[in-house]
Chain A
Amino acid sequence: MKNQDLNINKEYEYGFTTDIESIRAPKGLNEDTIKFISNIKKEPKWMLDWRLKAFNRLSSLKEPNWQKPKYPKINYQNLYYYSAPKSSSEKPKSLDEIDPKILETYKKLGIPLVEQQRLNGIAVDAVFDSVSVATTFKDELTKKGIIFCSISEAIQEHPDLVKKYLGSVIPLSDHYFATLNSAVFTDGSFVYIPPNTRCPMELSTYFRINASETGQFERTLIIADKGSYVSYLEGCTAPMRDENQLHAANVELIALDDAEIKYSTVQNWYPGDKNGVGGIYNFVTKRGACRGKNSKISWTQVETGSAITWKYPSCILQGDNSVGEFYSIAITNNYQKADTGTKMIHLGKNTKSKIISKGISAGNADNTYRGLVDINKKATNSRNYTQCDSLLMGNKCGAHTVPYIKNKNSTSTIEHEATTTKINEEQLYYCNQRGLDQEEAVSLIVNGFCKEVLQQLPMEFAVEAQKLVAISLEGSVG
């Protein structure tokens, strides 16, 4: 690409910090920290016991090291496990009581917390550092019997649902980070959709890490009861800091008979600077159980941020005729590393799964698709289709595809295809000849490459995601 000078790396747009007073748990990971968290949240004893059980299991688990991106050892004793804006230590009762600085932060992020902005038609739960600060549209949802609140509130108000489902998809001692989360999770969202109810609006959570030296461990639990439907979105941003920050969330989805959950993520945590300094370690466990017959869980993710992303949103297809889907775009630039994919475990009859993964690497980045498709013996007439495409931009990055495919059933079919190519020079030339500059051309072609995934996003998110794709790749072709 001669004649092109595109070395301006656009700054991370959300890299501001908000100067607010916060309450923190003492540094370090121990029983006292866990008791501190549980206590400040006024949790019932069963919750504290559950946390302590997880903490005790933790000592027998090791951090996994099989994933491709390696990271320096994390000193778990040098982290804060709880940080909350001081002004909301007593949960605000209405948006008027929220610290104006936090409202300002969300305004900068383009997230409407104020109810007047009804036009958007999205109910938002905002999580700032460790706590949920505001949930909008609550009244309207309550009328339909839909519960959408912070997990802390759900533990207080809906203990039966939480007890029944928390940890039922991701067991307490699943693996190191999931267990760590179970011990120290601070907040997150809780959704329950009652039977035969279609949630009338998109539910959305915005996560923001603000405090330094803080790990964010949120926990999300979504239950779609028989015949219900919900579409849930999450977005994430963080300030620019030189240190690496840990984000280890657990997300559990449960779909009962004939229910459908659509879960979309636009992950834009701070990726570090262009030399690879700082950025979020995004080690997330997301798993959904299609527990009922004819149920469906669909994951869509656009992963553009974080220094290291390591997550495999999965579906356990237990119910007969259940469907699992995974649509993913993972973009890595500069020194970012992503190891992401999905697991589709087929247990029920006539279960179907579909995986569409688009990986784009630029700069010195490394991008791995890792996935498992496992069709068990009893999952007769099941099908999987997988398509993994990787795009390489430049000669310093890597693209890897590591699928595990297991078929134990003679009536079931698995199809897997993968390609790795570079961005097509002829297509760039064609676009240039029509007057598009290099960045516009790259953005257009890459968005075309990702189209199948972008189409899955709800309208409001799709536009944002397209812009994000373009921004993430700025400065990558030169």
Chain B
Amino acid sequence: MKQNYDFDIGKIKNLSQEEKVSRQKNLDLFYEYGFPSKQVEDWKFTDLNLILNKNFDNISNEVNFESSKEFKAIENFEHNFIFLTNGKIISTNFGHEEKSKILIEDYNQEEVKNIDPSNTLALLNSALSFGGFSLEIAKGYKFKKPLIVYNCFSQDLKNKILNNKNSIKLNEGSELTLIDYSDNNTQNNFIKNTVDTIFLNKNAVLKNVLIQNSKSNGHFYKYIKGSLEGDSNYENYILSSGLKLNKIEIEINLNKDNSSCSIYSALNLLEDQHQEIKTRINHNSPNCKSYQKIKNVLNDKSKGIYQGKIFVEKIAQKTDAYQLSKALIVSDNAEFDAKPELEIYADDVRCSHGSTSGSIDSDAVHYLMTRGISKKESVKLLINGFLNEVLEKITHNELKIFLEKILEKQINGH
């Protein structure tokens, strides 16, 4: 399929000769493998090559960054923001915070190195990335209000691929709630390939929320790689329903004692939407905790996938790891696949997983109907209850209300 790719490193501005050479190497390596098909174990349930062949005639990385400079900020929810168009910073506002404690700049292109040669999309990203944002929070600084990263897109992205990289670094004891908010109401087929690197130093706390705010023909892939120091905590909420194709791959390295992470997701997939959440939690140190709760509702012809792996190193004694995936299959043409995996080399651990998939409880529907609620409303009510449970742990009230609204909108199909 190589002939259909129109990938050109020359389209990326301000690269030194040296960088161009290194990027070309990544690109050549990518060409060797191409987009992954289901023969690749990590893509067993999402045949990306097949999906792209079906939906794209050709793919080009020539992207215009000048087109859109306006966006509509969310109202009645106090927040700071970074505004990105096609992945690049247009403006920022940290009006609620002490500016001296925050470093925000364009992603340093010189740091664009290849992360993992076995991940071909990361290879492609390293070849074609035009950057993104880089955020660093000073030691001990706790954000007063959430930070929303508005991801907006121009209307001329048909058959384009966006490759961007962001970096988020929280120094010792700092805290941040970061909401990655995608707004891309477009009929155009386009691809976004993002790599986020996250580093949490000792005692840092990051809440990371991923939101898709509209129905879109976007084909998104996001790779989050987090490294956690002692006593730090990473929490991730995924509310990304609405995209035609979405795969979110999260790798968290619990590198020091008492670090912890949790991943929650609530997805309501419609039509032929296809979403995969793939996680890998590496317990590299003793006394760390990880928790995952993945919930999917599959309507119409949609397909939901969860591939989760808990990996426990020999030295990681007293690990406490749990993963749960639950799916409601509402339509006869929908599908849910799961591969919850444990790979354990330490003996003094508590690791478990559970996975269930099945239909909506017909007794519950019946019960609601006897109370005068229509069947359609009853089902919606149950779906709402099923997915909302994921937000239970959020203590920040404003944030919780905000996310509940988003979820409700997604349950109603945007």
Which residues of A are at the interface with B, using a C-beta cutoff of 8 A?
66, 377, 390, 392-422
Contact = CB atoms under 8 A, between A and B. Distances in A.
B347 A395 contact: yes
Contact of B349 (A402, A409, A422): A422
Given A66-B41, A390-B344, A414 B350 contact: no
B276 interface: no
A403 B308 CA distance: 10
Interface stretch (B19-27, B157-165, B353-361): B353-361
A410 B355 CA distance: 16
A410 B337 contact: no
A398 B334 CA distance: 36
26 contacts: A392-B344, A392-B346, A393-B347, A395-B317, A395-B346, A395-B348, A398-B344, A400-B342, A403-B341, A405-B338, A406-B337, A407-B357, A410-B329, A410-B330, A410-B334, A412-B359, A413-B357, A414-B357, A416-B353, A418-B342, A418-B353, A420-B342, A420-B349, A421-B349, A421-B350, A422-B347
B314 interface: yes
| A-side interface mostly | strand
A397 B349 CA distance: 13
A421 B349 CA distance: 6
A414 B355 contact: yes
Contact of B352 (A377, A402, A407, A420): A420
A396 to B, nearest CB: 8
A405 B337 contact: yes
A417 B343 CA distance: 15
Contacts of B314: 395-396
A422 B347 CA distance: 5
A143 to B, nearest CB: 48
Contact of A407 (B41, B329, B330, B339): B329
B347 A392 contact: yes
Contacts of A398: 343-345
Nearest to B358: A413
Contacts of A402: 339, 341
Contacts of A410: 329-332, 334, 359
Contact of B339 (A393, A400, A405, A408): A405
List of 6 A-B pairs having minimum Cβ-Cβ separation, nearest first: A413-B358, A392-B347, A422-B347, A401-B342, A419-B352, A416-B355
A416 B354 contact: yes
Interface of B: 41, 44, 314, 317, 327, 329-359
B46 to A, nearest CB: 13
| B-side interface mostly | strand
Contacts of B351: 419-421
Given A420-B342, A420-B344, A414 B358 contact: yes
Given A398-B345, A419-B351, A420-B352, A404 B357 contact: no
A215 to B, nearest CB: 29
Given A395-B345, A402-B339, A416-B338, 4 more contacts: A413-B356, A413-B357, A415-B354, A418-B353
Contacts of B330: 410
A276 B357 CA distance: 41
A356 to B, nearest CB: 15
B340 A412 contact: no
Nearest to B354: A417
Contacts of A418: 340, 342, 352-354
B340 A416 contact: yes
Contacts of A401: 340-342, 353
A409 B328 CA distance: 10
Nearest to A421: B350
A409 B332 contact: yes
Nearest to A378: B332
B355 A405 contact: yes
Contacts of A417: 352-354
Contact of B358 (A66, A412, A421): A412
Given A405-B338, A407-B327, A400 B358 contact: no
B366 to A, nearest CB: 15
B214 to A, nearest CB: 27
Residue in A393, A404, A407, A416 with the greatest tally of chain B CB atoms within 10 Å: A407
A410 B354 CA distance: 19
Contacts of A397: 345, 347
B332 A414 contact: no
B354 A407 contact: no
B342 A394 contact: no
A408 B342 contact: no
A399 B344 contact: yes
Residue in A390, A393, A410 with the greatest tally of chain B CB atoms within 10 Å: A410
Contact of A409 (B329, B340, B347): B329
Nearest to A407: B357
Contacts of B336: 406-407
Contact of A405 (B329, B334, B348, B357): B357
Contact of B340 (A393, A399, A403, A420): A403
B355 A403 contact: yes
Nearest to B307: A404
A357 to B, nearest CB: 12
A415 to B, nearest CB: 5
Nearest to A404: B339
A102 to B, nearest CB: 44
Contacts of A394: 347
Nearest to A393: B347
